[in-house]
Structure 1
């Protein structure tokens, strides 16, 4: 890695980085024009049928398995430790199931993991369409290099920190949308717990540590989590101090992914879109 940032070399790339991962919000979006807000609503509406379809598929399968097991909603609720109202809302598609609920239903209903096999349908649709290709590449990467100027990288966020960031989106998310996006973000983090995880080299601007996100307890837990993750052998975490002054990555955050086929991909993000590039000059400038 190296030059001024220690992130594979100097950067000339723009974008707002991966902090939007499963969230389309940022302070810049709040100040955007009504046209930008309208486009965001249109993009969300365009994804609704996919979300509804995947949610309905999972919900219908859950209800079918429960009926096959000769259990009433109240009985299933008791066995998976939730309310019967929640079971009803999930089975009728009014609420998305979370991962724990899905796992417990598999166990109680003896499905052999059938419901969890449907789980990716829900998490995938939590991402904006322009972010999904990056998530798929990230999952196969042998090394991930990231420079972040605004927020803790998504792969290193605690659940409470991530929920706060996602909750700052504009237009505002519904509680169910927030839950789905949070679940998707936390699932991305599972690549770091694999037996052979990718190398993660993250450089954070000092402002990331000084920007309050959520309550003091949320920030305290997040900073403690960063220290803990930095102890892992495959993770290198560095802070770019304010005293460094002007540097090569002033234009914003970016990722460089090293893929198994020896290719290198740069990912940059704007408030409403993301861009992958394998152009040699772009990779060289960013990596």
Structure 2
């Protein structure tokens, strides 16, 4: 497996934990695959822990301490590395997203978080839990906008999104909110900051008809796929599964409108929402 680059331990607790894990593993003479076998995970998972793209769970920390003879270091420190502003089911995926060099995503029902405006994010989060206090919703929206700031970099990560047409036609937050949201997506596409394709309703049945899909690639760790459901989600790193789902994404992109035609449709829908809001 490719040796990861040196990490900056001062950047975050997870990077420190990953750097210490790599040091302890190499000192013990284990490969990533050998250490993974000892704690019942894949070698890819060990690589992701070392790169800081995966969260170390308490049971993994305990087994690592036993396998590496680290005197409880990982058990003591994994809680600090696990702290997150995101919901438990999404925290690991959101944090991995920040390390990704490429993100490919299919969004069947809603505009995905990285492409959302504050108003659209507020409408989604309010629908997620109508009884939540307003200040909590504010925190959720701020967290989502902070995630989207990774697009402030002019080229990294590569973001390629296939949007189902139903996500563009699902009126979320009102017509003015939808018009703003679609103009925002069009702006990202026109600035070449994201590749955006629309999977039209006329495409009928397709390779990802059963749900959403997000693939993430990293410079110094194996790729991941994230599955999200109703108030739950999970990351998978099985190479065969990742390859299969990359093929699924390729099929979706082939079925979708070209980026140029997709942009034209998005801008036309934005104009329609604007005119319907102000007849």
How do residues 26-45 of structure 1 correspond to structure 2 at under 5 angstroms?
Answer: none
- The answer to whether the 8 A contact 2:85-2:91 is kept is no
Does 1:153 pair with 2:115?
A: no
How do residues 99-248 of structure 1 correspond to structure 2 at under 5 angstroms?
Answer: 125-170=84-129, 172-248=131-207
Task: Give the whole-Å Cα distance in 1 for the aligned partners of 2:154 and 2:164.
Answer: 30
Q: Structure 1: state its 5+ residue gaps.
A: 1-120
- The answer to whether the 8 A contact 2:123-2:173 is kept is yes
Q: Structure 2: state its 5+ residue gaps.
A: 1-79, 247-279
Which segment drifts farther, 191-200 or 154-163? 191-200
How far is 1:129 from its partner?
1.4
Residues 30-56 of structure 1: per-residue CA shift (max 9 Å, x gap)? xxxxxxxxxxxxxxxxxxxxxxxxxxx
Q: How many residues align?
A: 165
Task: Give the whole-Å Cα distance in 1 for the aligned partners of 2:238 and 2:97.
Answer: 18
- The answer to whether the 8 A contact 2:100-2:218 is kept is yes
How far is 1:136 from its partner?
1.3
Summarize the Cα distance change of 1:136–1:285 in structure 2 as closer, same or farther, 3 Å threshold: same
Runs of 4+ in 1 over 3 A off after TM superposition: none
Residues 140-186 of structure 1: per-residue CA shift (max 9 Å, x gap)? 10000000001111001111011001000136311111010000000
SS at 2:192's partner residue?
A: coil
SS at 2:212's partner residue?
A: strand
Counterpart of 2:255? Answer: none
- The answer to whether the 8 A contact 1:126-1:177 is kept is no
TM-score (norm 1): 0.55
Which is bigger in relative contact order (C-alpha 8 A, separation at least 6)? 1
**RMSD of aligned residue pairs (Cα, Å):** 1.7
How far is 1:195 from its partner?
4.7
Task: Give the whole-Å Cα distance in 2 for the aligned partners of 1:193 and 1:138.
Answer: 14
How do residues 67-86 of structure 1 correspond to structure 2 at under 5 angstroms?
Answer: none
Does 1:261 pair with 2:227?
A: no
